Amino acid sequence: MPELPEVETTRRGIAPHVEGREIREVIVRESRMRTPVPTDFDDRLIGARFGSLQRRAKYLLLPLHDGEDASHERGTLIWHLGMSGSLRIVRLGEMPRKHDHIDVVLDDGVILRYHDPRRFGFVDWLRGSVGEENLVSEDPRLSRLGPEPLSDAFDGARLFDRSRGRRIAVKPFLMDNAVVVGVGNIYAAEALFLAGIDPRTAAGRISRERYDRLAAACREVLAAAITQGGTTLRDFVSGTGEPGYFAQRLNVYGRHGEPCRRCGAELRLVTLGQRASVFCPDCQH
């Protein structure tokens, strides 16, 4: 599943090609997504221009305004890549592949193309602009989200405060979007390794000092993954069609039975919150 670094990589990849461009045509080849594509999707988009693309957790937010008047907002597209989706930039005339479900054709011949073999992703229409409070507060997909992990609102104090009295293991606690957004399975495993914390430890038993290290590790891992273009394990490619290379730097995820890169101990596999979790029994306590 594309996680926060993959979604941020997508945003950075497509933004220079779509921001300020006018939408000339919309082609929907398959509307049956997790949320069906709105029936008036093309009517809402044609003639509009893209504003500055934003990301909230794993959601891409694409504001639209009328023609040359950037002050007249039409609304905002919310796009989620699901389990296997990707948004790519292609040129007019490039034939669609299987599972290329949506094309947004721009005025310079560029196409924003959505590919999703499993169709677990979706695109939907939100009334209002990205900066409006009601857009965030009224949509349930956005209103319950915790802070961004790379923002000043996320730190060890928040993790410590939210964890008091919690018996849940720290790894699923860290993956709770109400605690902090976008720290999915891959990056939670890697951050816990860097912080030296056993993923099975009850969240409420971890000290403030150790949570400070964990928050710093989350930021370090996510920033490195974004720099590397995300982690390609199966389907993900960036907005320009490139795979992510952070998989080459993984310390624990997907490496159970292999030696720890730090101490050489055999990495162990456990299941936490119905998700596989790999850790080093010697380095993580």
pLDDT at 140: 85
Please report the sign of the dihedral spanned by the C-alpha atoms of residue 154, residue 161, residue 200, residue 266: positive
Q: Does a structural domain hold residue 66?
A: yes
Please report the sign of the dihedral spanned by the C-alpha atoms of residue 196, residue 225, residue 278, residue 185: positive
Catalytic residue among 3, 6, 8, 148: 3
Has 208 been labeled as part of a binding site?
no
- Please say if 73 is a catalytic residue: no
pLDDT at 139: 83
Q: Does a structural domain hold residue 116?
A: yes
Residues 126 and 170 in one domain: no
Tens-digit pLDDT profile for residues 9-35 = 999 999 999 999 999 999 999 999 999
Q: Does a structural domain hold residue 150?
A: no
Has 99 been labeled as part of a binding site?
yes
Average pLDDT, whole number, for the chain?
89
pLDDT at 130: 65
- Please say if 164 is a catalytic residue: no
Among 93, 119, 143, identify where a domain stops: 143
Q: Does a structural domain hold residue 285?
A: no
Residues 168 and 135 in one domain: no
- Please say if 149 is a catalytic residue: no
d(CA 118, CA 114): 12
Residues 61 and 130 in one domain: yes
Distance of CA 133 to the CA centre of its chain: 21
> What are the phi and psi torsion angles at 106 (to 5°)?
-100, 170
Tens-digit pLDDT profile for residues 234-271 = 443 444 555 444 555 789 999 999 999 999 999 999 99
Residues 29 and 111 in one domain: yes
Domain total for the chain? 2
Determine contact, residues 28/38, Cβ cutoff 8 Å: no
Residues 127 and 202 in one domain: no
* CATH code of residue 133: 3.20.190.10
- Please say if 98 is a catalytic residue: no
Has 55 been labeled as part of a binding site?
no
Q: Does a structural domain hold residue 284?
A: no
Residues 130 and 224 in one domain: no
Catalytic residue among 55, 56, 58, 210: 58
Residues 114 and 160 in one domain: no
pLDDT at 137: 63
Q: Does a structural domain hold residue 107?
A: yes
pLDDT at 244: 44
Which residues constitute the domain of residue 123? Answer: 4-143
Among 143, 164, 182, identify where a domain stops: 143
State which residues of the chain have pLDDT below 50.
232-239, 243-245
